[in-house]
């Protein structure tokens, strides 16, 4: 018997199962995309439908959600849902679970931003807005994660023992929060902090949990900026020196779904950007 060394694969290892595809199969699988009507969520909804999944688009924006579902055809369904509301998220999860094999993929892209310093000339940071950002970005993400995982627990495991995968969305602001980003950074830092314990909690159920921390992405959040400002932001990214594309986020979601060993980790998607203080 030959001993394998790191970096070495014996002849015919493909036939031994050392190298091969694993993870949740996208084609024919039911997926839930929270915040799926625009930006990163829209790109993910499109990518998963194109890959053969049945997708439930859950969003507070009914107009955009219904239009996107109509455009994507029979493989997509829109369900009005607010991530901070347990009942509407439960309804969206239940709708996704009706697909063949149950809900197997959950992606949470819902989020908001708010810029304000901890203290300023007008007084302290608006506590109501701080709470709102935490409620949507952190508690809302947990709401989707916990309800999706509960549904996935009832799935039949695949050959790897896997029942599903949950992908959450943080931000590089979780690590490089700028001046005025106290609420946003705290909320996204919480999403990062949930990732490992959630993966450990759900390991016995065969459910993986991953988080993506995007950098500066070309989403509606930046669309309101003048084009010269958008170009300047992109130029500050080491490589590629441009804003990230929502399709690149969606591609990473698909990679995570298909790789069972990716679990309990946050992946930065930022072109090596490290944000300055302001």
Give the three-state DSSP class for 212.
strand
Enumerate the β-bridge partners of residue 208: 165
Task: Return all residues near 57 (Cβ < 8 A) that are at least 6 apart.
Answer: 33, 36, 37, 41, 45, 65, 68, 69, 76, 77, 78, 79
**Cα–Cα dist 141/69, whole Å:** 22
Tokens 């590089």 locate to 172
Q: Which long-range contacts (CB under 8 A, 24 or more apart) does 69-74 make?
A: 72/45, 72/46, 73/49
Structure tokens at 126: 């608006």
End-to-end alpha-carbon separation of the chain, Å?
Answer: 59
DSSP string, 127-155: HHHHHHHHIIIIIHHHHHHHHHHHHHTTS
Name the helix (H) or strand (E) containing 104. Answer: strand 103-108
Residue 234 Cα distances to 226, 247, 273, angstroms: 13, 16, 10
Q: Which two tokens stand for residue 244?
A: 């990230």
- SS3 label, residue 24: coil
Distance (Å, whole) CA 185 – CA 160? 36
- Residues serving a catalytic function are 184
């Amino acid at each position: 018997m030959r001993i394998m060394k790191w970096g070495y694969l014996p002849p015919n290892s493909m036939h031994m199962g050392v190298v091969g595809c694993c993870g949740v199969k996208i084609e024919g699988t039911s997926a839930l995309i929270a915040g799926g009507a625009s930006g990163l969520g829209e790109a993910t909804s499109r990518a998963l439908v194109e890959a053969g999944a049945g997708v439930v688009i859950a969003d507070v924006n009914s107009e955009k959600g219904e239009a996107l579902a109509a455009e994507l055809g029979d493989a997509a369904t829109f369900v009005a849902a607010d991530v901070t509301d347990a009942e509407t998220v439960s309804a969206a999860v239940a709708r996704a679970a009706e697909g063949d094999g149950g809900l197997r993929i959950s992606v949470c892209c819902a989020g908001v931003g708010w810029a304000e310093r901890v203290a300023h000339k007008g007084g302290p940071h608006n506590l109501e807005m701080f709470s709102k950002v935490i409620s949507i970005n952190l508690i809302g993400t947990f709401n989707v994660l916990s309800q999706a995982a509960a549904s996935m627990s009832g799935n039949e495991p695949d050959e790897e023992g896997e029942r599903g995968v949950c992908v959450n969305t943080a931000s590089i602001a979780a690590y490089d929060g700028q001046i005025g980003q106290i609420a946003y950074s705290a909320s996204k830092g919480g999403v990062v902090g949930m990732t490992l314990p959630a993966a450990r909690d759900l390991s016995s159920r065969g459910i993986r949990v991953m988080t993506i921390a995007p950098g500066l992405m070309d989403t509606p959040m930046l669309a309101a900026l003048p084009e010269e400002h958008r170009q300047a932001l992109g130029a500050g990214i080491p490589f590629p020196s441009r804003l990230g594309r929502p399709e690149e986020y969606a591609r990473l979601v698909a990679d995570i779904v298909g790789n069972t060993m990716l679990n309990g980790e946050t992946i930065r998607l930022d072109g090596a950007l490290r944000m300055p203080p302001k």
